[in-house]
Amino acid sequence: MTVVPFKPKGGGNGGEPPHIDNESYRLLVDTLIAFFELCINEGDQGRDIAELERLTRQLERLAERFTPPKGAA
C-alpha cells in the first residue's frame, strides 16, 4: 500500500484530501468502539476515565475525517 503524506488540516499531494482504505477504516472504527466500551465499563466501576474519554474523542475525530472511506491511498 502506498502511503500519501498529508497536512493535518488540509489536503495531501495535489490537493487530494486524506483518505483511508476499507480495511484500515474498519480497524479504526473497531478500535473506537472498543474504547467506547472500555469507557463505559470503567465509568460503571466508579473509576476516573478522563484520559480514556480524551483518547476516545481523538479517535472519534480521526474516524470522522475518513468517513466515508474512499479506497486505498
Report if residue 10 sits inside a domain.
no
Report if residue 43 sits inside a domain.
yes
Task: Print the SS3 string covering 34-69.
Answer: HHHHHHHHHHHCCCCCHHHHHHHHHHHHHHHHCCCC
Residue 28 belongs to what domain range? 19-65
Domain tally, the chain: 1
pLDDT in tens, 27-59: 989 999 998 899 899 989 988 888 888 888 888
Task: Note if the pTM is more than 0.75.
Answer: no
Report if residue 60 sits inside a domain.
yes
The pLDDT assigned to 24 comes to 86
